[in-house]
Copies of this chain bind each other. A is one copy, B any other.
Amino acid sequence: RSLTIGLIPADGIGKEVIPAAQKIIEHVIDKVDFVNLDAGFELFQKTGVALPDETVEILKKCDGALFGAVSSPSHKVAGYSSPIVALRKKMDLYANVRPVSSAKGALGKPIDMLIIRENTECLYIKSERLEKDPKTGLQTAWADRRITEYASKRIAKMAFDMALVRAKNPTIHSKPKVTIVHKSNVLSVTDGLFRESCRAVAQNPEYKDVIVEEQLVDSMVYRMFREPEVFDVVVAPNLYGDIISDGAAALVGSLGVVASANVGDNFVIGEPVHGSAPDIAGKGISNPIAAIRSAAMLLDHLGYNAEATKIKVAVDTVLTEGKTLTPDLGGKATTEQVTSKVIANL
């Protein structure tokens, strides 16, 4: 059968790195069709719609997809809402899986983390409202944060399952470990529920060999930078997961190399962790590695494991050689040169 992959480059360098990832997929898979789909802030500026219904409808008929990056408005824009956040919710892609690893991280220490970010709730439900005091004219804004037992247990289960899968292959960790990130010393009810739900999942006899630890989110950011080598799988509510994964990216040299997959029970969207980088967009020097690795994660989920591994190995080779790198990694290569170099190593 032939594979159909939706491509949503969206904004800025998304339009450069997604075509690069497409080329790589074409090289490892014979029968594959691509469908280009619209979304993004730039689209919103033109049409008033950031995520067309059509994009979602066509996507549902694809086997999987790749998303580029989305720009953030530089001031308040009525009616605009992030298309990637909407997509995750609409397709119930409840986990954002972010592997971060490097034999020698920024601090000279190895790092081999898998961040599992809950992808559907927390403050990302975007239930907000604004009030104005009729007397003073001063505004007060409110946002709801929702944490459910259902979503917390579901994401915890994925974290523990992944810890067991990882333990089958050699990593820098001698035993599988899951670190639960929360801030229950302040948010005893919401983060308390997240933590208790993860703890309840940990009780499953299947997971008896998995070490369970906890970190308050502030302390997590601190310790991740001091001793990144101690973290294996990290599970976190949506916002903390967002922050931690950007922090972890700094430890492996650049956001330009960190991939993610938005995973649901029936669909997967690969997505580089980096943003749309308006400062370098259009210059042809954006790093395609994160998008290419996201493509590998997508293929892995679709069952094309050998092809995924081939891509991963080729990327690692290019990075280890260190000769063909984009400026974010201290090199002088273009997006196209890095892409060609990966292809040469396939």
A128 near B: Cβ within 8 Å?
A: yes
Cβ–Cβ contact B130 & A189, under 8 A: yes
In the complex, what residues of B have CB within 8 A of residue A275's CB? 219
Among A221-229, A282-290, A336-344, the stretch in contact with B: A221-229
CB pair B222–A221 under 8 Å, yes or no, is no
Select the stretch in A27-35, A139-147, A163-171, A300-308 that faces chain B: A139-147
Q: Which of A244-252, A261-269, A317-325 forms contacts with chain B?
A: A244-252
Which of A54-62, A180-188, A203-211 interfaces with chain B? A180-188
Query: Nearest-CB distance from A67 to chain B (Å)?
Result: 15
Give the residues from 193 to 251 in chain A that come closer than 8 angstroms, CB to CB, to chain B: 193, 196, 214, 216-219, 221-226, 239, 242-243, 245-247, 249-251
Given A72-B185, A221-B250, A250-B226: A192 touches B243 (CB 8 Å cut-off): no
Q: A225-B247, A243-B221 are in contact. Are A142 and B190 (CB under 8 A)?
A: yes
Q: How far is the CA of A150 from the CA of B224 in the complex (A)?
A: 35
A64 to B226, CA, bound (A): 33
Residues of B within 8 A of A141 (CB): 146-148, 189-190, 192-193
A-B contact pairs, 18 of them (CB 8 A): A76-B188, A82-B186, A106-B107, A106-B225, A107-B107, A123-B186, A123-B187, A126-B186, A129-B189, A130-B193, A142-B147, A144-B144, A144-B145, A145-B145, A221-B243, A221-B250, A222-B255, A243-B243
